[in-house]
């Protein structure tokens, strides 16, 4: 179960992110991409982080791996298996990348080096770390391609990434991420630009990864993608987490108005052919903008005066300590009464 971080470190947690902040120095000013984000994950759990483009989801992952751009800085704490990663040296980070935490990037076409054959892409991690001989690495590569459903793996090893379809490239990227048998997989928008049938196959593969006992942290802007995959969901807006809940509770009774708006924008099969999907009024805030209150307040139909004056902190909703308990950063949560809080 993913819960807001407390002052107590839980050894059972595979990943603990506490008060993470990420900022970038730009010509237009300082961009606060991530602000005071805290999450925790256990082995074998799937956590989905959901939000619009620009909400800080990808930068959160890159900060955890020490892969921020040169103009980016991070503060807070990121612990993996009890080892502090934020501010760690390259030797420590390289010992974790790939073997501890693997990254399935958003765009496999740009992440798979185009002048290298698939065999080299798959085996170089094992070979560089001295974890296998060339023959052993090749056999592992053949097995990995088979595990992600790629036909004729012998032939695929001789090909280049541009010779593969988008869905096949994504499966090769997943096989590459799993080659060194990591304990945690970061999947950054793994179904972007894929057709529906290929999306379903990729999500099925990720579910299989989770069922093997790996932790999976999936980043997406589409709540529908994670409905059957994630155990818990964290919703981000303008760099902050505004709600966390079990997937079932989030879909049943979203507490934050932004979460409810995202869910309302998911197409439904039982909607009429002429029905229109509701949108969210206004625009996301500019990255350089700073708000004394809730960043969603200018777009929120339920906003109170205090929403713009003071930032709401995450608070527990539901029965504290129960499996269904979640958190919300809102002065007027939509399902407060049902969640055990006083109604507004």
pLDDT in tens, 20-45: 999 999 998 899 999 999 999 999 99
Predicted confidence (pLDDT) at residue 239 exceeds the cutoff of 80: yes
pLDDT at 6: 36
User: What pLDDT sits at residue 203?
Assistant: 87
- DSSP state, 284? P
299 secondary structure, DSSP code = G
Average pLDDT, the chain: 87
- The 10s digit of each residue's pLDDT in 74-102 is 999 999 999 999 999 999 999 999 999 99
pLDDT, greater one: 341 or 143? 143
Strand intervals (E) in 66-210: 72-80, 83-84, 101-104, 184-188
Residue 66 has pLDDT above 50, yes or no: yes
CA proximity to 108, closest of 167, 182, 48: 167
Identify the band that residue 271 occupies on the pLDDT scale cut at 50, 70 and 90.
low
How confident is the model at residue 337, as a pLDDT? 43
Check residue 247 and give left, alpha or beta (phi > 0: left; psi -120 to 50: alpha).
alpha
**pLDDT for 194:** 75
Note whether 238 and 295 are within 8 A (CB).
yes
Percent of the chain predicted with pLDDT > 90: 64
Question: Are 209 and 39 a contacting pair, CB within 8 Å?
Answer: no
- Residue 132's pLDDT band (cuts 50, 70, 90): very high
Q: What pLDDT, on the 0 to 100 scale, is given for residue 288?
A: 83
Q: Is the pLDDT of residue 280 over 90?
A: no
> So what's the pLDDT on residue 10?
47
> Does 149 have pLDDT greater than 80?
yes
Torsion of CA 249, 252, 255, 256, to 10 degrees: 110
């Amino acid at each position: 179960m993913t819960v807001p971080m407390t002052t107590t470190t839980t050894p059972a947690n595979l990943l603990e992110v506490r008060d993470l902040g990420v900022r970038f120095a730009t010509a237009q000013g300082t961009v606060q991409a991530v602000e005071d984000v805290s999450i925790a994950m256990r082995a074998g759990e799937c956590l989905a982080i959901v939000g619009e483009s620009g909400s800080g989801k990808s930068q959160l992952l890159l900060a955890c791996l020490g892969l921020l751009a040169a103009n980016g800085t991070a503060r807070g704490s990121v612990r993996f298996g009890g080892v502090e990663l934020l501010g760690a040296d390259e030797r420590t980070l390289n010992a974790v990348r790939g073997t501890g935490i693997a990254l399935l990037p958003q765009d496999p076409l740009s992440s798979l080096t185009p002048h290298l054959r698939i065999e080299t892409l798959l085996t170089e991690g094992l070979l560089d770390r001295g974890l296998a001989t060339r023959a052993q690495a090749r056999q592992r590569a053949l097995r990995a391609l088979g595990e992600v459903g790629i036909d004729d793996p012998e032939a695929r090893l001789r090909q280049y990434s541009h010779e593969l379809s988008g869905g096949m490239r994504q499966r090769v990227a997943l096989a590459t991420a799993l080659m060194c048998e990591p304990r945690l997989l970061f999947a950054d928008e793994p179904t972007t630009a894929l057709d529906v049938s290929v999306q379903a196959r990729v999500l099925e593969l990720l579910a299989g990864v989770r069922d093997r006992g790996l932790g999976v942290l999936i980043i997406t802007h589409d709540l529908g993608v994670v409905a059957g995959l994630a155990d818990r969901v964290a919703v981000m807006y303008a760099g902050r987490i505004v709600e966390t809940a079990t997937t079932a509770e989030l879909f049943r009774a979203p507490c934050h108005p932004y979460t409810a708006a995202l869910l309302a924008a998911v197409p439904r099969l039982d909607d009429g052919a002429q029905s229109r999907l509701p949108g969210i009024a206004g625009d996301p805030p500019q990255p350089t903008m700073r708000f004394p209150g809730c960043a969603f307040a200018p777009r929120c139909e339920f906003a109170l005066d205090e929403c713009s004056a003071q930032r709401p902190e995450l608070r527990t909703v539901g029965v504290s300590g129960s499996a269904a308990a979640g958190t919300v950063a809102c002065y007027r949560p939509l399902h407060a009464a049902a969640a055990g809080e006083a109604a507004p």
